[in-house]
Amino acid sequence: MTPNERFVFDTNVLVSALLFAESKPAHAFFTAQRRGTILTSLAALHELRDVLYRKKLDKYLTNAEREAFLDQYAQTVVTIEIMETIQVCRDPTDDKFLEIATNGFTTCVITGDPDLLALHPFRNIPIVSPDTFLAIVAPGAADGTIDDTTLNT
């Protein structure tokens, strides 16, 4: 692992990782944690909290589980100050992830959102699905780092 690998996860991937421990999003999240640093912003943290407390998730998560996840997540990620705003995504609510990526000098963005995936790569920052991320960083990679040429294709 190179110490400068930095990753951004969109909210839906994080929620999927929490709800389904054996899912590709969960494996991608834990792989990224082992390999480097996960970045966020205050706006992304607020969105994560809002989404986790939606009524439709009540049947899957207790309030204690939500709080535990949010507390642990906030303690393990690096919150980036957004100096440059971005307004390019078809869904303006997704621009926050591009802002984290560019302001945080991110290695890649991991998302399942078609609006973000359509921008791959954005300013030479790969935007990939959890499946693609895992395929690229699978054990057995020659040097243990992300191959930017593969991510940019």
Counting the structural domains of the chain, the total is: 1
pLDDT value at position 8? Answer: 98
Confirm whether 83 is domain-assigned: yes
Cβ neighbours of residue 43 under 8 Å, at least 6 residues apart? 82, 96, 99
pLDDT value at position 2? Answer: 56
Rounded Cα–Cα distance for residues 63 and 116 (Å): 30
Arithmetic mean of pLDDT, 108-135: 96
Mean pLDDT of the chain: 89
More confident residue, 137 or 149: 137
**101 C-beta neighbours (distance < 10 Å), count:** 25
The angle at the Cα of 87, spanning 83 to 92, to the nearest 5 degrees, equals: 115
Q: Which two tokens stand for residue 120?
A: 């791959």
Q: Which residue bears the tokens 């959102």? A: 113
Confirm whether 17 is domain-assigned: yes
CATH of the domain at 36: 3.40.50.1010
Of all residues in the chain, the percent with pLDDT exceeding 90 is 86
What's the domain range around 97?
6-151
Confirm whether 1 is domain-assigned: no
pLDDT tens digits along 59-110 = 999 999 999 999 999 999 999 999 999 999 999 999 999 999 999 999 999 9
Confirm whether 116 is domain-assigned: yes
